[in-house]
Structure 1
Amino acid sequence: MAKLISVRELKIDIPKEAQILAERMLSDLEKSKRPVLEAVKTSLDNSFYNPKVGYLTPGDKRVRTELNVSSVQKLARVVFMLEILLRNLDIGAVNTKRELYYICKGLIKNDAKLRPLDFEDQVESDTIVDFIGDMLQVYREELNCFANDRGGQTYSQQLVVTETMADGEKATIDLSTLGTAPFQPKNKPQSLRLKARKKIDFCLVIESEGTANTLQSMGFTKRNNCILMGAQGVPSNAVRGWCKLIEEELAPPMYFFGDLDAYTLQNIFRTLKAGSAASLIRNSHFSAPEVRFLGVLPEDVKKYDLPFYKVRESDPAEARALKKAKDALENDPFFLDKKNKGLSDILRWLMKEKIRCEQQSLFSVDPKDPIKMEKIILEKIRNGSYV
């Protein structure tokens, strides 16, 4: 099997740590003690935000699972899944979470002794994979478990990417030579170095991949020395890591443009900028702390007379979004930090006005001008109209 690229320099030996864990569990059982597994608690109440650090970090809280009648299946599943992951590491095999679920189903189907460990659905097996990562404090990729590639389609006339393969060979990708095709970062770790043929004036991350593609088709990157990227909703690890790499290696001003609603601010922009509570142990490598929120801003709605939707509290999904916004203002350390007051104020405005305005609404400003959205975006950047 080919050698794989690492996300980072790993400070622990995963097989060795797993062996220590298994031997400790066995020793406890032999001494009639109840084995205990502990993992980092990846939730908002164990999240801390320091603007000097730039991303959410974990506190000291742990999820503690002690062997008893109700937890015996979970502990057994952890050992079962860990053995599969260790085998993959040993032979250099890789899998997605979906594939791991079916590997488990196949092993269980062919061994009656394993039937009590069976998973009803993939959510159950995904939870075990996540628990193992949080327990060992390693990334999923370091267990050779990779997500599907999603988002991050990138266009530029100035960006040149050099990728070093695991065998040492190098490939150079000049984005200006790709025609209509974008460059897309992988969720599988890559060793990339970036170079700009000319100074990059800015990097623009658009929430909607389709709208990013529209801007590109209308010549956005030909008229601007920039990097244009489509996030495709909540940013994947690939998108988050790619934005961080652009920040670190080229340091252009980075702007995010998306919908004006609570979901975009909390789940999409916050995840891109500072990571998430669910991925506390990995936010250091998968966040872009310098990205700014370009819009849609509340003042844009009035200035450009943008069409919007009323948020109906009678709708369960919209009511849930409003509740989450209220919870974020009260409990999310990112929104509680005074440095992010501008973003918190937008959330408060959304809760008060109960509206949502989509990024594509800019196409309504001058329907006969196909590049009006580009003009507005550039105007906002020039005027400092961002948070």
Structure 2
Amino acid sequence: MAKLLSIRDLKIDIPKEARILADKMLKDLESSKRPVLEAVKTSLDNSLYNAKVGYLTPGDKVVRTELNVSSVQKLARVVFLLEMLLRNLETGTVNTKRELYYMCKGEIKGNPRLKPLDFDDQPESDAIIDFIGDMLEVYREELNVFANDRGGQTYSQQLVVTETLTDGDKAVIDLSTLGTSPFQPKNKPQALKLKAKKKIDFCLIVESEGTANTLVTMGFTKRNNCIVMGAQGVPSNGVRGWAKLIQEELDVPMYFFGDLDAYTMQNIFRTLKAGSAASLIRNADFSAPNVKFLGVLPEDVKKYDLPHYKVKESDPAEARALKKAKDALENDPFFLDKKNKNLADILRWLIKEKIRCEQQSFFSVDPKDPIKTEKLILEKIKRGSYV
């Protein structure tokens, strides 16, 4: 199995590893051998799931690129972009993928000899950056490449966050002093330490930022010693990393409150809980294995008489979600593991019943009670109505 890295536990000497790689390529060329680059294969067919770990990890499959007529441009682009990334590391410069795309354009425009390396559009340069990360087995952030990934909008009356800044200064943020504004940490890696002023009973991760904001505005965090986070749909690396940090540093029960549909189960909840196949080398720090699916659960639909909708297989997006659900039950190691049988059963139920029930449907239970949804969430937590 490929080695698993943690940005907090293990640091790779990237310039040293890059030099070793470049030297080997040069020696191969001088010896009339074809240089070969290998990277971890980040796909579902190379994903393993170990319930003791709780997230998807890479198997031993690799993507192998050997120098030939069809691959010469890719290998040259790897060297070209790697040099640019190493320069950023040396100077402490950070960039987004979009900025790096235009920096490549600028370098190529200034040197006609580099014209064969030009990128037609950003996905081409993005793919090379991802390949370099998978090849060196380092996170994109360790290459000083940052996306606009923000941690989920977070509210709490009990949580205090201390951040060590790059110049060594410390910033202390008491979330109870932010008024109606949420705390939203930037993407990892970063030096954050968490402290609870009082015992925090649970963390509620809400799929919809709007619904999270409604709960907080109506006093959820004032009446309960808790953390509420809006996950903004499919969780970004920032959301996943922030959830993992809360899990590790505070060791509080964590619950996910979201829609009951195939897309939410596979693309949102599974990614939050166990990571994704596309980020196999990152899942150690970008997943929260302890999070439980609080709802909407299949039994909630009947128990609370929740409004729901029939999934129309004539709709391409819904048909695609159902097909992916069937594929997941057959091929996804997360849903195949017996520890996650109950989650797999929900997928089977969704495939059979072909319905969709949104988290906001809880507001239909008693429209005259403005905090009825809060009461139902607390009731479900107390009763153990989660998976």
TM-score, structure 2 as length reference: 0.96
1:232 equivalent in structure 2: 232
Supply the AA of the counterpart residue of 1:84: M
Q: How many residues align?
A: 382
Quote how far apart the aligned CAs of 1:370 are.
1.6
Quote how far apart the aligned CAs of 1:188 are.
4.3
Q: What SS does the aligned partner of 1:65 have?
A: strand
CA contact (8 A) 2:162 2:173 kept: yes
2:84 equivalent in structure 1: 84
Quote how far apart the aligned CAs of 1:151 are.
4.4
CA contact (8 A) 2:256 2:269 kept: yes
CA contact (8 A) 1:208 1:233 kept: yes
CA distance in 1, matches of 2:14, 2:89: 9
CA contact (8 A) 1:147 1:188 kept: no
CA contact (8 A) 1:155 1:175 kept: yes
CA distance in 2, matches of 1:11, 1:147: 20
CA contact (8 A) 2:330 2:336 kept: yes
2:195 equivalent in structure 1: 195
Supply the AA of the counterpart residue of 1:349: W
Quote how far apart the aligned CAs of 1:110 are.
2.3
1:38 equivalent in structure 2: 38
Aligned residue runs from structure 1 range 1-387, under 5 A: 7-387=7-387
CA distance in 2, matches of 1:10, 1:201: 31
CA contact (8 A) 1:194 1:246 kept: yes
CA contact (8 A) 1:154 1:230 kept: yes
Which range moves more in the overlay, 137-146 or 299-308?
Answer: 299-308
Q: What SS does the aligned partner of 1:306 have?
A: coil
Supply the AA of the counterpart residue of 1:58: P
Superposed structure 1 runs of 4+ greater than 3 Å apart: none
Which range moves more in the overlay, 274-283 or 20-29?
Answer: 20-29
- For the aligned residue pairs, the C-alpha RMSD in angstroms reads 1.3
Cα deviation 1:111-163 (Å, max 9, x = unaligned): 22212211121111111111000000000000000111334111011111111
TM-score, structure 1 as length reference: 0.96
CA distance in 2, matches of 1:338, 1:63: 30
Quote how far apart the aligned CAs of 1:167 are.
2.8
CA contact (8 A) 1:151 1:232 kept: no
Q: Which runs of 5+ in 1 are unaligned?
A: 1-5
Cα deviation 1:246-283 (Å, max 9, x = unaligned): 11121111000111111111111111111111111111
CA distance in 1, matches of 2:310, 2:126: 36
Supply the AA of the counterpart residue of 1:61: K
2:3 equivalent in structure 1: none
Provide the identity percentage. 84
1:3 equivalent in structure 2: none
